[in-house]
A = this chain, B = another copy of it.
Amino acid sequence: MRQVSVLGVGMVKFGRYPDTPVEELGAEAVVGALADAGLAPAAVEAAYCGHVSQGMTLCERVLDRAGLAGIPAVNVENACASSSTALNVAWLAVAAGQHDAVLVLGAEKMRRGLLPLTRLAEGDLEGLLGKTIPALSALFASRYAADYGLTARDLAAVAVKNSRHAAGNPYAQYGRPLTPEEVLASPMISTPLTQLMCCPTSDGAAAAIVVSDALARRHASRAIRIAASHLVGGVCIGTRDVPNATARAARQAYERAGIGPEDVDVAEGLDYTAMAEILLYEDLGLLGKGEGVKAVRDARGGRTGHFVFSPGGGLLGRGHPLGATGVAQVAEIVWQLRGEAGARQVPNARVGLTHAAGGVITGVDDEASVTIHLLSR
């Protein structure tokens, strides 16, 4: 397998775009990524697009809108891991020598309200009784509180941190730092999670240009190496007490990259709630079991332990257009590792991690796909 790098990234400001076609959001991100990479459209050999519910052949439609019609296109769906899975497939195509320069994108326009969960229509009792994602995360919070003494104020601290990062990110949906009081006073979604401890509903798009080592060397100052691109499947969200797929994916990715969790400076993961972010510190091996809440209390300058989590604002602050999130996370890490992250720059960031997970959480089990990407300069 060949060495693979990210040469350019682009995204649109996440938010709500009721009057803009999803193809236009996608094309804007693509044009931005090409400009950032300094590549002509003709250099792009294939495209991989992650989305969940944007209709048939979104990739082809975006390529057409962006002036890249006529190249091989693959649409990939893996729920919240859609565009990170697309990146995994794109990485493989370049690593295997099939292509030298490919485009990865993610784009999504979300409906209003709760996500339609696939199995509800088939008489799934847990789903019908309200096993939504925020409710499930609230159950984890209750358990974590019983085990390790988590309080609502700790959860609010995560939301406050991510809002501060988002306020420094021109691409984030939320542009203003929140106070703990505001977070705690926002409407209760599922005790102890208030609205501002849950990610918003968002539209958006993000894109990345992924290239071979030979191409990357010509642009050495801008290329960020993909040290590992790893996809696993398994039980992920439901049962906290079994070794879960996120932990397994992270362990295997660290091993492949020859990078340890202690080396990670910046990380973006699926902080769909403040509780989810704290659990990720531990599942990704960045902190030990039960240490997440202590790290939140001891946090200084956005650092939770030795790393900064959600430097771009995370899902809580940047927003979460499902199919766009995976590539948006990578865009943030690329900016951080290049030192181009402006007001939110983490000093001297050299190693970054992104995590995404997607699956059906209702039903008997919790089958999910998890992706881990390790990036380094």
In the complex the two chains form, what is the Cα distance from A359 to B93 in whole Å?
Answer: 22
Contact, CB under 8 Å: B75 / A57: no
Q: Which of A61, A97, A235 has its CB near the most chain B CB atoms (within 10 A)?
A: A61
A43 to chain B, nearest CB (A): 15
Q: Point out the residues of chain B lying under 8 angstroms from A75, CB to CB.
A: 76-78
In the complex the two chains form, what is the Cα distance from A71 to B248 in whole Å?
Answer: 12
Asked if A367 is an interface residue, CB under 8 A from chain B, the answer is yes
Asked if A63 is an interface residue, CB under 8 A from chain B, the answer is yes
Contact, CB under 8 Å: B367 / A60: yes
Contact, CB under 8 Å: A60 / B368: yes
A356 to chain B, nearest CB (A): 13
Contact, CB under 8 Å: B74 / A85: yes
Q: Point out the residues of chain B lying under 8 angstroms from A365, CB to CB.
A: 64, 69
* One of A202-210, A226-234, A278-286 contacting the partner: A226-234
Contact, CB under 8 Å: A235 / B56: no
Q: Which residue of B lies closest to A369 (CB)?
A: B73
Q: Which of A56, A77, A232 has its CB near the most chain B CB atoms (within 10 A)?
A: A56
In the complex the two chains form, what is the Cα distance from A92 to B368 in whole Å?
Answer: 23
For chain A residues 116-155, which have a beta carbon within 8 Å of chain B?
118, 122
In the complex the two chains form, what is the Cα distance from A134 to B368 in whole Å?
Answer: 39
Asked if A186 is an interface residue, CB under 8 A from chain B, the answer is no
A interface size (C-beta, 8 A): 47
Asked if A258 is an interface residue, CB under 8 A from chain B, the answer is no
In the complex the two chains form, what is the Cα distance from A61 to B79 in whole Å?
Answer: 12
Contact, CB under 8 Å: B118 / A55: yes
Q: Point out the residues of chain B lying under 8 angstroms from A360, CB to CB.
A: 56-57, 60-61
In the complex the two chains form, what is the Cα distance from A369 to B46 in whole Å?
Answer: 11
In the complex the two chains form, what is the Cα distance from A231 to B46 in whole Å?
Answer: 10
Q: Point out the residues of chain B lying under 8 angstroms from A367, CB to CB.
A: 57, 60-61, 63-64, 69-70, 73
Q: Which of A57, A75, A79, A85 has its CB near the most chain B CB atoms (within 10 A)?
A: A57
Asked if A358 is an interface residue, CB under 8 A from chain B, the answer is yes
A3 to chain B, nearest CB (A): 14
Q: Which of A77, A93, A358 has its CB near the most chain B CB atoms (within 10 A)?
A: A77
| Contact partner, A96, options B1, B60, B359, Cβ 8 Å | B1
Q: Point out the residues of chain B lying under 8 angstroms from A89, CB to CB.
A: 74, 89
Contact, CB under 8 Å: B92 / A57: no
Chain A 88-125, CB-CB to B under 8 Å as 1, else 0, gives: 11001101111000000000000000000010001000
The 9 closest A-B pairs by CB, nearest first: A96-B96, A55-B118, A60-B367, A75-B77, A70-B234, A72-B231, A56-B79, A64-B367, A71-B233
